[in-house]
Structure 1
Amino acid sequence: MKRKTNKKNTYRVLYYWLTGVIVILSLLFFFRTSLITYYYLIKNKWAGANFENENLEKNIKISEIQKIQAVFTKYKNNVFGLDISQHQGKIIWDSIQFIDKEIPISFVFVRATRGAFTQDASFKKNWRNLAKKNIIKGAYHYYDVNRNSTIQAENFIKTVTLEKGDLPPVLDVEELPKDQSLELLKTGLINWLTIIEKNYKVKPIIYSNDAYFIHHISDMDLTDYMIWTANYNPIESPLHQKWSFWQFTEKGIVKGITENYVDINVFNGSIEDLKKLTL
C-alpha cells in the first residue's frame, strides 16, 4: 500500500508542477503577444504622424550628425529642402513640416521619371500631396546615360505638368555611359535640356555630384543653367563655385518619412530668392 501511495503522490506533484509550468509559459506568451501588439498596432500604426523611426536614429553615425548640424549652423540664414522618390516609401504628409524638428522644409524636389519609359511609382501621390502644402515643389528626371535623350525628354514632358510657383525642371545625371562615348553623352544632355526648355519656357536645373561636374562634364557650357550639386563630405561649401542647391547629406531624418533616410539640401539664398526662381 505504501508503494502505491508514494506513486500517487509522485504523480500528483508532477501534475501540479507541469500545470504550473504551462500556466507560467502561457502568461509569458500572453504578455509578449500583448507588448508586440501594442508596439506595432498602437505605437506604429495608430500613432501615425507621431511615430519616429528609431532604427534610423540608432544607425546614423555621430560624425554624420555633426556634419549636418555644422551645415545648419553655417547656413542658418538660408532655406533647406528635401528631394524624394519612391525609395522613401509611404510618407505621412501631415507630419512633413520640419527638418531636425525646427528647420522649415521650404522646398521639395520629386523624382518624376527615369530613363526613356519609367515613371517613379510614387510621383503622382507625392506631387499631389505637395500641392496641398505650403512648400515649393519641383520635379526631376533621372537620366539614363545609355538611352535616347529625346525619348527621355518626352517621358518627362508627358508625366510632369508644371504650374506657377513651381521650380524649373531638373536633369539628374550621375553615371557614365557604357554604350556610347562621353562626347555623345554630353550631346544628349544638351539635347534634353534644350527640348525641356522649349516646352516649359524656362531653363532647367542640372544636378550631379561635384566630382562628376569637375572630371566628366567640366567642358560643357552650363553658364546659363542653375547648378544643383551633391557632396556628402564634411566641408563648408561645395567644390562647384556656381551652386544654387547643395545636397549635403543622404542621411536625413525627417518626421513623416519613417521607412528610409532622405536627402537634405540647402539653397544658396533666402526664401525670397528661391521664390524668384519659380515659374
Structure 2
Amino acid sequence: MNRTSLRILFTAALALALLALAACSSSGEQAPSKPAYVSPYDWSGLAKEDGRYTYAEGGEVCSFTGIDVSEHQGAIDWNAVASDGIDFAFIRIGNRGATEGAVYLDERYVENMTGAREAGIPVGVYFFSQAITAEEALEEADFVLAMLGDAELAYPIVYDHEPVAGIEGRADGLSREQMTENALAFCTRIAEAGYEPMVYGNKRDIARFDLSQLEGIDVWFAEYGAATPSGQFDFSIWQYANDGTVAGVSTAVDLNILFIADAR
C-alpha cells in the first residue's frame, strides 16, 4: 500500500471518529450521576431549647436526649443526671493508645456503668479505636466483649475511630479500604455476640469509611454548631455539642439526640 492510500485511510478513520464524537455530544448522553441524598428526617421538626434539641413529626416528639462520658468527666452523680432529663448514655469502655497501641480499660467504666444503671438510665458503650489492622480491630472487639461479660445493653456497642488532636497517631494514615476493613471486622464480631454495632464520627471520619461495605450498621454522627445536621448519609444519633451542661457532671459533656425510628 502506498503513502497516498495510507493517508486516505487515516483521513477516513479520523472523520468517522469525529462524527461519532459529534453524535454523542448532540444526543446529550452523559454518564449516569448518583442521586442526590435525601434525609429520612424532616428538619423542620427540629427544635432547640436551653441548648438541647428535640425532634418531632406530626406534633409528636420522637427523640431522646443523651450524653456520652469517659474517665475525663471524673466522678458523676448519675441520679442528678437522670433528674436533668437525660434519657440515655454511652459510656466509654476502653481505648487503644494512639501512639503505642496498647489497649486500656476506661478507669471509670465500671463506676459509670453501675451508676447509670442504678439511676435507671439505659446505656450503650463505645471503644476508642486506633486499630491499624483488622486483627487489631478484632482484638478490640474481643476486649469489649470480655469486659462486658454477660451484661445486657439497651444501646449499641460503638466503634469510634478518629485522629487524636495534637499528636501523630499510629492510625492517621490508614487507607479508606483498611479503615473499612477494620470497622467491618469489629462490628461483625460484636453482632455475632448478639449486640448491635454502630460506627461514630464526624464528616471527615465517616468519609474514611466505604459505607456501602458497612450496610446495616448504624451511624452516630458528630457535628457541632450546626442548626441542622449536614451529613449526607443516614444516621440515628446526632452528637450536636461537646460543651453541654448536665446536672451531676462537673465538666463539659457531649450532648446527643437519638431519632426514634419506631415513632416515625
Partner of 2:20: none
- Give structure 1 stretches of 5+ with no counterpart: 1-65, 275-279
- Counterpart CA distance in 2 for 1:178 and 1:96 is 35
SS of the equivalent of 1:96 reads helix
Q: Normalized against structure 1, the TM-score is what?
A: 0.64
- Counterpart CA distance in 1 for 2:248 and 2:78 is 6
SS of the equivalent of 2:213 reads coil
Q: Tell me which amino acid in the other structure corresponds to 1:94.
A: N
- Give structure 2 stretches of 5+ with no counterpart: 1-46, 97-101, 164-168
| TM-fit CA distance, 1:220 | 4.5
- Counterpart CA distance in 2 for 1:182 and 1:257 is 36
| TM-fit CA distance, 1:245 | 0.3
1:1-279 equivalences in 2 (<5 Å): 69=50, 72=53, 77=61, 78-99=63-84, 104-115=85-96, 117-146=103-132, 148-161=136-149, 163-164=151-152, 166-175=154-163, 177-178=171-172, 180-199=174-193, 201-213=194-206, 215-258=207-250, 260-269=251-260
- Counterpart CA distance in 1 for 2:240 and 2:132 is 27
Is contact 1:146-1:179 (8 Å) kept? no
Higher Rg: 1
Q: 1:224 to 1:142 in 2, by over 3 A?
A: same
Is contact 1:249-1:264 (8 Å) kept? yes
Q: Tell me which amino acid in the other structure corresponds to 1:159.
A: M
| TM-fit CA distance, 1:72 | 2.2
| TM-fit CA distance, 1:118 | 0.4
| TM-fit CA distance, 1:203 | 3.5
RMSD of the TM alignment (CA)?
2.7
Is the strand fraction higher in 1 or 2?
Answer: 2
| TM-fit CA distance, 1:228 | 0.5
Is contact 2:128-2:159 (8 Å) kept? yes
State the percentage of identical aligned residues.
Answer: 22
Is contact 2:158-2:197 (8 Å) kept? yes
| TM-fit CA distance, 1:254 | 0.7
Q: 1:114 to 1:165 in 2, by over 3 A?
A: closer
SS of the equivalent of 1:224 reads coil
Q: 1:164 to 1:156 in 2, by over 3 A?
A: closer
Q: 1:128 to 1:269 in 2, by over 3 A?
A: same
Is contact 2:87-2:122 (8 Å) kept? yes
Is contact 1:139-1:160 (8 Å) kept? no
| TM-fit CA distance, 1:119 | 0.4
- Counterpart CA distance in 2 for 1:155 and 1:167 is 18
Q: Tell me which amino acid in the other structure corresponds to 2:205.
A: Y
- Aligned residue pairs: how many? 201
Q: 1:188 to 1:241 in 2, by over 3 A?
A: closer
Render the CA deviation track for 1:102-152: whole Å, top value 9, x for unaligned.
xx2110000001125200000000001111122111111111133621221
- Counterpart CA distance in 2 for 1:110 and 1:188 is 21
Is contact 1:186-1:220 (8 Å) kept? no
Q: Normalized against structure 2, the TM-score is what?
A: 0.67
Higher relative contact order (CA 8 A, sep 6+): 1
Is the helix fraction higher in 1 or 2?
Answer: 1
Render the CA deviation track for 1:147-202: whole Å, top value 9, x for unaligned.
62122112111112354452121111112724754422321221111111112x23
Q: 1:173 to 1:96 in 2, by over 3 A?
A: same
Render the CA deviation track for 1:231-260: whole Å, top value 9, x for unaligned.
0032213414311000000000111111x1
Q: Tell me which amino acid in the other structure corresponds to 2:107.
A: A
SS of the equivalent of 2:90 reads strand
